[in-house]
Amino acid sequence: MTPGELTEKHWDVIVIGTGIGGGTIGRRLAERGLSVLFVEKGRAGHRAEQNHMASDEITDPVARLVRGSWPETIHARIEGGEHRVHPAIGAAVGGSSVFYAATLERPEPHDLDHSAERPHPTNGWPVSFSAMLPYFDAAQALFEVRGQPDPLATHPTPNLTAGPAMCEGDARLMEGMRRSGLHPYQLHSAMRGLDGCGSCLGRKCPRPCKLDGRSAGVEPALATGRAAIADRCEVTELRGDDIRVTRVVARRDGETLEFTASHVVLAAGALSSPRILLASRSDWAEGCGNARGQVGRYLMFHLNEMFALWPRRKEGYPQAAKSIGFRDLYHAEGHRFGMVQAMGLDAGEGEILSYLRGKIARSPLRRLPGASQMARIPAKVAARVLGQAKVFVGLLEDMPYAENRVSADPNRPGGILIDYRFSPELHQRRKLFRKLIRASLGRQRVLFLTYQPELNFGHPCGSLRMGTDPAKSVVNAECRVHGMRNLWVADASFMPTSMGVNPSLTIAANALRVGDAILKAAGTSDLEQRAMSLVS
């Protein structure tokens, strides 16, 4: 169908955004018989593409968008300092997920639930872990998640299937962790591992192998014959009245298009769904769903604590470890931290060099001309002596603060503006997390590769917070925008807290849950309509 034809049809559901949340909910609804229109800012692209997310070297917005990457820089005010960065965010069919490492990890009960032993910063999500559990199971099945069960898990994972055989080096590294008293396991991965699998971490998978918002969401949805996609369409605002969204307004090649549907799902990502609501001012003075000024607030990211881990002498191996994780420090000494996992990278000379340069920049040596260049020599020596290290990351949970927020950049139409401050408790928790990581690995050699707290811009969440009190949240327990009958949220924006794991599985599971709520609402309104027609 042409974009013109897509505007003429009245859809059961419009899904804005096609990442892990949008793709999953669109598929669920199309498979259950509803007509679904995906509206996507990025391009459909070519299925054989296998590029990484565009690096900083590619600055042209057109070239970035062709590569499925967010075209513009974001303006981030971090601790009052001004930064303009290209975020690790996708803009393509499949969203960021076409680039992701497909690590689909289930959160812990304490991520969602409040208890006396593990008090929750928001007194618990409005939906409990046990209510989410069937959806976690369903998402694990839908994304064909493979790996080893976490030895420390409190609930079984019936739909997790065995992962591929681990390489000998990874197995030895895990053995070393076990000797240090840790409980490592093979990470939970949404890759089919077809013959000749290129383990497409960080890049588009050209085959039906990696399961992401495109391959496990949009493509199966389109295969039902009930879904369609309007790509290269940037949603500029929603139109409607006090209780309902009636139209979705988008720009395509400079032309304005309007789509209509009975239900609208926001799944443009935690940095974009709030901006769509804030920009919807034609019919809502403060923006749609923003009468209480809550849209865009409580923005969270994970902090990446990256470190290099050297295998024991004579136990080095050429493959990059990418399949090991452990949760021994997930919640420790009364604090929320997060899980530790392999990044699928080797650390060599370059990483040691950047470590040394960081060290020099913080010492009186920084005034010595050429010191930064001189660091190459010890870096080279260290890389020779120590061999290749494996890079791991500790994901540190971030807490929700109303002042940390995303908004529309007043200086650039469609631009993202982020205001973020590190809280004192985050600094403290971070220090402790690093200490515990180092201690937990015993006598294995560890080198932290980051000094300053590093925000993981690929894991934004929380900006359309789910809650029961409309004064402190944007969506209710079923992710329907407070006061609106047909506006829903199915991306990471809903998360009241950022958890200690990668967000993808939770986004997918929640999308399935919101899908069920929409099916129920659509069924009710169908009944209403039928009853009305009988009466008349």
Partner 1 sequence: MTLAIVTGAGQGLGRAVALELVARGCIVAGLARSESDLAATSKLCATAGAFHPIACDVSDYDALRGAFDAIRRIGPIAILINNAAVYPRRDFLDETPESFMHTMAINLGGMVACSRLALEDMVSRGTGRIVNVTSFADLAPIPASGAYSVSKGAGRIFTRALVADLEGRFPDIVISDWIPGALRTAMGLPDGIHPADAARWGAELALSSDPSLNGTLWERNNEVLEPQSLKRRVFNRLMLRPAPTPRMLCAA
- 206 is a site residue for partner 1 (CB under 8 A): yes
Closer by beta carbon to partner 1, 67 or else 405: 67
- 52 is a site residue for partner 1 (CB under 8 A): yes
- The answer to whether 181 and 226 have CB atoms below 8 angstroms apart is no
We find the least distance from the C-beta atom of residue 526 to partner 1, in angstroms, to be 41
CA distance 191 to 188: 9
CA distance 25 to 493: 15
We find the least distance from the C-beta atom of residue 205 to partner 1, in angstroms, to be 11
* Nearest CA-CA partner of 71 in 419, 461, 413: 413
Bridge-based pairing state of the strands 300-310 and 389-396: antiparallel
- The answer to whether 393 and 345 have CB atoms below 8 angstroms apart is no
- 43 is a site residue for partner 1 (CB under 8 A): no
- 428 is a site residue for partner 1 (CB under 8 A): no
| Residue the block writes with tokens 């209403």 | 528
Closer by beta carbon to partner 1, 48 or else 532: 48
Q: How many CB atoms lie within 10 A of CB 397?
A: 25
The region that residue 254 occupies, defined by phi over 0 for left and psi between -120 and 50 for alpha, beta otherwise, is left
- 46 is a site residue for partner 1 (CB under 8 A): yes
SS3 call for 82 = strand
Residue numbers 369-398 binding partner 1 by CB under 8 A? 376, 380
Residue 348 DSSP code: -
Name the segment binding partner 1 (CB under 8 A); options: 42-50, 97-105, 325-333, 432-440: 42-50
Residue numbers 319-378 binding partner 1 by CB under 8 A? 376
Binding mask 123-152 for partner 1 (x = CB under 8 A): ------------------------------
Name the segment binding partner 1 (CB under 8 A); options: 45-53, 115-123, 286-294, 396-404: 45-53
Closer by beta carbon to partner 1, 96 or else 502: 96
Closer by beta carbon to partner 1, 43 or else 120: 43
Residue numbers 167-196 binding partner 1 by CB under 8 A? none
We find the least distance from the C-beta atom of residue 350 to partner 1, in angstroms, to be 12
We find the least distance from the C-beta atom of residue 48 to partner 1, in angstroms, to be 3
Q: Which two tokens stand for residue 336?
A: 């929320």
Q: Which two tokens stand for residue 448?
A: 């932290």
The region that residue 271 occupies, defined by phi over 0 for left and psi between -120 and 50 for alpha, beta otherwise, is alpha
We find the least distance from the C-beta atom of residue 66 to partner 1, in angstroms, to be 8
One residue of 67, 75, 405, 480 binding partner 1 per CB under 8 A: 67
CA distance 334 to 60: 47
Binding residues for partner 1 (CB under 8 A): 46-52, 66-67, 206, 376, 380
